Amino acid sequence: MVQRLKYSYGADPSQWGELFLPDLPAAGQRRGVVVVIHGGYWRSTYGAELGEPLAMDLAEHGMAAWNLEYRRAGNGGGWPGTFQDVLAGIDKLGELVEPHALDLGKVVALGHSAGGHLAVWAAGKGRRAAVGPDAERPDAGGVRLAGVVSQSGVLNLAEAERLNLSNGAVANLLGGPSSEFPGRHRSADPMAALPLDVPVFAVHAEADEDVPVAMSALYVDASGAGGVPARLVMVPGDHFDLINPVSPAYATCRELVAQLLR
């Protein structure tokens, strides 16, 4: 039986996560945690309900899952709030170790679409330097991601802006175009954080009409220059098959998450 517990990590109504816990194993500690980060092109129209079925499925397969909500553009998010929330939401897990027998030795992220962008961004080296006072101590007190499964993630913001994906979603997230805010665009782009020292599986749906495969392919190509190269994994289906717990596309994502937790 899956246990569900909701916790806030800030005062805003969107600063919360829901922990999905499988039965405690005989060893007395749950192995690793999966942070589920929903998509929706960073807009407030979409919320953590998109990640709920995935978190439940992961827990039913024996993995602790943290379904993360965050402020989005339109409800107090954007730059830098959305980014600050993702980091704070992941760090909240540090407070939940003892009451729920969590093992933070391996925390991995599963992010869909814009959530894939945020997951890969959060795994970047010196990630806090972009959005907070911890620039000189990027890992102080924080929970580090040990890997990411990106589901048709928007992993190249410069290209996404050039293509005007979702009617200017990148500029909407960052408060304006890159010509006006080059620094924040660069800081928010996972491409700028390469090379990474953790594995990234860039899973992309073959029939995806919402996020072009170039978003994953360009990132994977660039990652080969050093660090731990990302891997492109093509799966059947469309953009939303990736978050359908009964689809083969999602089953591949779940298998990759489990692989990262081993």
Per CATH, the number for 3-261 is 3.40.50.1820
Q: What pLDDT digit, counting tens, does each position of 44-86 carry? A: 999 999 999 999 999 999 999 999 999 999 999 999 999 999 9
Mean confidence (pLDDT) of the chain: 93
Reported confidence tier of residue 125, pLDDT bands at 50, 70, 90: low
Helix (H) or strand (E) holding 67: strand 64-68
Q: Which phi and psi (to 5°) does residue 181 adopt?
A: -130, 65
Q: Mean pLDDT, to the nearest integer, of 112-134?
A: 78
Alpha carbon distances (Å) from 149 to 87, 116, 209, 210, 253: 17, 8, 20, 18, 7
The arrangement of strands across the sheet holding 64-68 comes to 3-8, 16-21, 64-68, 33-37, 107-112, 147-151, 200-205, 231-235
Q: What pLDDT digit, counting tens, does each position of 196-241 carry? A: 999 999 999 999 999 999 999 999 999 998 889 999 999 999 999 9
Inter-residue contact 144 to 109 (CB < 8 Å): no
Domain positions in the chain are 3-261
pLDDT: which is higher, 24 or 235: 235
Inter-residue contact 38 to 52 (CB < 8 Å): no
- Is the pLDDT score of 26 beyond 70? no
pLDDT: which is higher, 157 or 142: 157
- Pairing type for strands 16-21 and 33-37 reads unpaired
Q: What pLDDT digit, counting tens, does each position of 83-110 carry? A: 999 999 999 999 999 899 899 999 999 9
| pLDDT attached to residue 30 | 73
Reported confidence tier of residue 31, pLDDT bands at 50, 70, 90: confident
| pLDDT attached to residue 137 | 39
Q: Mean pLDDT, to the nearest integer, of 134-138?
A: 39
Question: Which one, of 6, 5, 117, 112, lies nearest residue 50 by Cα?
Answer: 112
| pLDDT attached to residue 209 | 97
